[in-house]
């Protein structure tokens, strides 16, 4: 079974600072990895995804993530945080069964300080 | 706007009752997924339907059931409700049945409060 661990349930950064949200996965087969963002009172929105190919994945709103197989990680970064980035971020992995569904991490709440 | 519509937005009911949550997927999406989000359990996959047929089951209780209708909308039925069922229930849809190559689009959820 696939699993995802997000390190740090709460992360605070200053506006303009680097954002780094950590995600480690467990998988016995090549995983498909995703980052989703959830703004207050809204559903989840896809930020970016890794399936195959280039290990550095660029997403929306200036976010990117790098798939590192040797570290079983898929950390999310953004060079300069903006106030509008404050939200909850979820890392997710899909399984490789015939019916695919996402397994989500527990989420990281990002706070951006002025 | 993801294009996924969930109704109602809020639902307050008593223990032992039964409720139905409704989801209309994005136009053209054949697959519907139901997730439960609670503080203690996080975001848990419940069940997936593809073009009217059940495709995958996750951590769905026997008291819960779902179906997808010919017009592709889906309903999640929760019965014999308990306090612990209070949560945010999300519906998501995707174009095809495999989530890795067909990203999920989430609705804004139905917040269920059981008193």
Mean pLDDT (10-residue bins), chain A, 114 residues: 89 97 86 90 89 88 94 96 96 66 89 96
Q: Strand pairing of A10-14 and A108-113?
A: parallel
pLDDT exceeds cutoff 70 at B3: yes
SS3 B109: coil
Closest chain B residue to A35, measured at CA: B103
Nearest Cα neighbor of A48 from A77, A72, A20 is A77
Single out the residue of A106, A104, A46 nearest to residue B45, CA to CA: A104
pLDDT at res. B42: 86
Q: What percentage of chain B carries pLDDT values higher than 70?
A: 96
Query: For residue B39, what pLDDT is reported?
Result: 83
A101 within 8 A of B56, measured Cβ to Cβ: yes
Residues B29-56 have pLDDT tens digits of 999 999 999 988 888 889 999 999 998 8
Closest approach of B115 to chain A, Cα-based (Å): 21
Q: Using a CB–CB cutoff of 8 Å, tell me whether A46 touches chain B.
A: yes
**How far off is chain A from B49, nearest CA to CA, in Å?**
10
CB distance A100–B56 less than 8 Å? yes
Measured between alpha carbons, how far is A53 from A57 in angstroms, rounded to an integer? 9
Buried b (16+ CB within 10 A) or exposed e, A46-77: bbbbbeeeeeebebeeebbbebeeeeebbbbe
pLDDT at B99: 56
Radius of gyration of chain A (CA): 14
Question: Cα distance from A25 to chain B (closest Cα, Å)?
Answer: 15
Nearest chain B residue to A89 by CA distance is: B43
Distance from CA of B50 to the nearest CA of A (A): 10
Query: What are the pLDDT digits (tens) for B51-105?
Result: 999 988 888 999 999 999 999 999 999 999 999 999 999 999 988 766 556 778 8
Find residue B12's DSSP bridge partners. B113
Q: Are B49 and B68 in contact (CB under 8 A)?
A: yes
Number of C-alpha atoms within 13 angstroms, CB side, residue A52?
Answer: 3
Contacts A–B by Cβ distance under 8 A: 59
Tell me which chain B residues have a C-beta less than 8 angstroms from the C-beta of A100.
56, 97-100
Q: Do B2 and A45 touch (CB under 8 A)?
A: yes
Q: Are strands B87-94 and B31-38 parallel, antiparallel or unpaired?
A: antiparallel
pLDDT of res. A32: 85
* Residues contacting residue A85 through CB under 8 Å, at least 6 positions apart: A19, A61, A78, A110, A112
User: Which residues from A are below 8 Å from B98, CB to CB?
Assistant: 100
């Amino acid at each position: 079974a696939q699993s995802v661990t997000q390190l740090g349930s709460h992360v605070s950064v200053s506006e303009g600072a680097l954002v780094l949200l950590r995600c480690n996965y467990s998988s016995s087969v090549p995983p498909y990895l995703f980052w989703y963002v959830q703004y207050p009172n809204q559903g989840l929105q896809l930020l970016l995804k890794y399936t195959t190919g280039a290990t550095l994945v660029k997403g929306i709103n200036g976010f990117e993530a790098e798939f590192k197989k040797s570290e079983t990680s898929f950390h999310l970064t953004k060079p300069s945080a903006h106030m509008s980035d404050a939200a909850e971020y979820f890392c997710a992995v899909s399984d490789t069964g015939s019916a695919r569904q996402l397994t989500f991490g527990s989420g990281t709440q990002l706070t951006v300080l002025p | 706007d993801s294009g996924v519509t969930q109704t109602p937005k809020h639902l307050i009911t008593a223990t032992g009752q039964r409720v139905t949550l409704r989801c209309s997927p994005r136009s053209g999406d054949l697959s519907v997924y139901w997730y439960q989000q609670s503080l203690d359990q996080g975001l848990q996959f419940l069940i997936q339907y593809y073009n009217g047929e059940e495709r995958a089951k996750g951590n769905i209780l026997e008291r819960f059931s779902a179906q997808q209708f010919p017009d592709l909308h889906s309903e999640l039925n929760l019965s014999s409700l308990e306090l612990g069922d209070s949560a945010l229930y999300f519906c998501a849809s995707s174009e095809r049945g495999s989530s890795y190559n067909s990203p999920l689009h989430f609705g804004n959820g139905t917040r269920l409060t059981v008193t």
